């Protein structure tokens, strides 16, 4: 069983993406890792190449800045990397997602089990979304709980919408793309997209929002989150303390963190009433109603 990892990154140094840690976590699992480096204004490409241990496949691409509707450019860049994968399994991480070293054997075992099942396309991973600090994790329904990050090759799989997940082409040209049929991987992905020094967080957020909307709309969307030249983390965001361990490759990032984040614990928040009421229903019932799932969970 051969495994290809794949990802993309642009301006990863300037925008504070932990892409080197993400790549190292893929290297611990995969036989090859394909990296699509968008033409950058910093030394992202050099840093990616410095990680080469004979398994990296690195290439550059130029992003089409006109593909702003729905963040389409992200899916395009993902598919460019996917097209170069040669493994029987493909494992995808975004540049702010990191696998824990304890999960490598678990993922391989899940792949081996899924290989015996033609009805299974891929694996579903749990998510741990850090927000505001490396010690607090988002718990409201705005944070998706699962997503597909590994799948069998050769099934016409492609990146869906803004690259959060994947779908497969239908059996014929007239068919609509279908959701991947998945089982649980037993593993968790650590997502660090909302953990940066406040100045860098503002720069990253501006750059990310420009992939979806024009500059005027970006500034309008950020008006409540800008504090001078710094990003103002939302102290009303629902979080809980993180009591586990970070992946070893992320620990230097955790140790360098030096900004304060002091969340306020509120069950009901002005402007988020529907979300908060659904959160309370989830706490009481153990079920998340109206949850979006870009996959089909099979037994």
**Quick one: pLDDT band at residue 173, thresholds 50, 70, 90?**
low
Answer whether residue 202 shows pLDDT above 90. Answer: yes
| Model pLDDT, residue 243 | 94
pLDDT tens column, 281-296: 888 998 999 899 999 9
pLDDT tens column, 231-269: 999 999 999 999 999 999 999 999 999 999 999 988 788
Which residues, including other chains, have CB under 8 Å from residue 292's CB and lie 6 or more apart?
A: 144
Answer whether residue 136 shows pLDDT above 70. Answer: yes
CA angle 286, 287, 290 (to 5 degrees): 155
| Model pLDDT, residue 5 | 98
| Model pLDDT, residue 176 | 87
Answer whether residue 198 shows pLDDT above 70. Answer: yes
**Quick one: pLDDT band at residue 172, thresholds 50, 70, 90?**
low
CA angle 164, 167, 170 (to 5 degrees): 165
Per the CB < 8 A criterion, the answer to whether 134 and 44 are in contact is no
Q: How many residues does the structure list for the chain?
A: 299
| Model pLDDT, residue 263 | 95
CATH 3.90.550.10, domain 3-119+148-181, yes or no: yes
Which residues, including other chains, have CB under 8 Å from residue 34's CB and lie 6 or more apart?
A: 4, 5, 6, 7, 56, 57, 59, 81, 82, 84, 85
Instruction: Give Cα separations from 199 to 60, 159, 196, 226, 230 (angstroms).
Output: 28, 31, 8, 10, 4
Domain ranges of the chain: 3-119+148-181
């Amino acid at each position: 069983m051969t495994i290809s990892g794949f990802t993309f990154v642009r301006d990863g140094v300037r925008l504070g993406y932990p892409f080197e840690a993400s790549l190292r976590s893929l290297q611990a699992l995969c036989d090859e890792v394909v990296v699509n480096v968008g033409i950058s204004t910093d030394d992202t490409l050099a840093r990616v190449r410095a990680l080469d241990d004979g398994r990296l496949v690195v290439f550059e691409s130029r992003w089409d800045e006109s593909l702003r509707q729905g963040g389409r450019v992200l899916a395009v860049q993902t598919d460019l990397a996917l097209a170069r994968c040669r493994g029987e399994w493909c494992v995808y991480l975004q540049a702010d997602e990191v696998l824990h070293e304890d999960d490598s054997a678990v993922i391989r075992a899940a792949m081996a089990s899924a290989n015996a099942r033609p009805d299974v396309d891929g694996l579903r991973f749990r998510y741990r979304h850090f927000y505001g600090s490396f010690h607090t994790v988002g718990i409201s329904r705005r944070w998706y709980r699962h997503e597909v990050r590994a799948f069998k090759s050769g099934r016409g799989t492609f990146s869906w919408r803004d690259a959060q997940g994947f779908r497969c082409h239908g059996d014929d040209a007239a068919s609509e793309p279908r959701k991947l049929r998945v089982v649980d991987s037993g593993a968790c992905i650590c997502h660090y997209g909302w953990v940066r020094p406040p100045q860098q967080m503002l720069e990253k957020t501006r750059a990310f929002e420009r992939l979806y909307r024009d500059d005027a709309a970006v500034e309008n969307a950020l008006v409540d989150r800008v504090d001078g030249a710094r990003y103002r983390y939302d102290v009303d965001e629902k979080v809980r303390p993180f009591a586990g361990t970070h992946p070893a490759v992320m620990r230097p990032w955790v140790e360098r963190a030096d900004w304060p984040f002091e969340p306020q614990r509120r069950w009901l928040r002005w402007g988020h009433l529907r979300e908060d009421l659904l959160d309370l229903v989830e706490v009481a019932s153990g079920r998340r109603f109206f949850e979006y799932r870009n996959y089909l969970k099979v037994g």
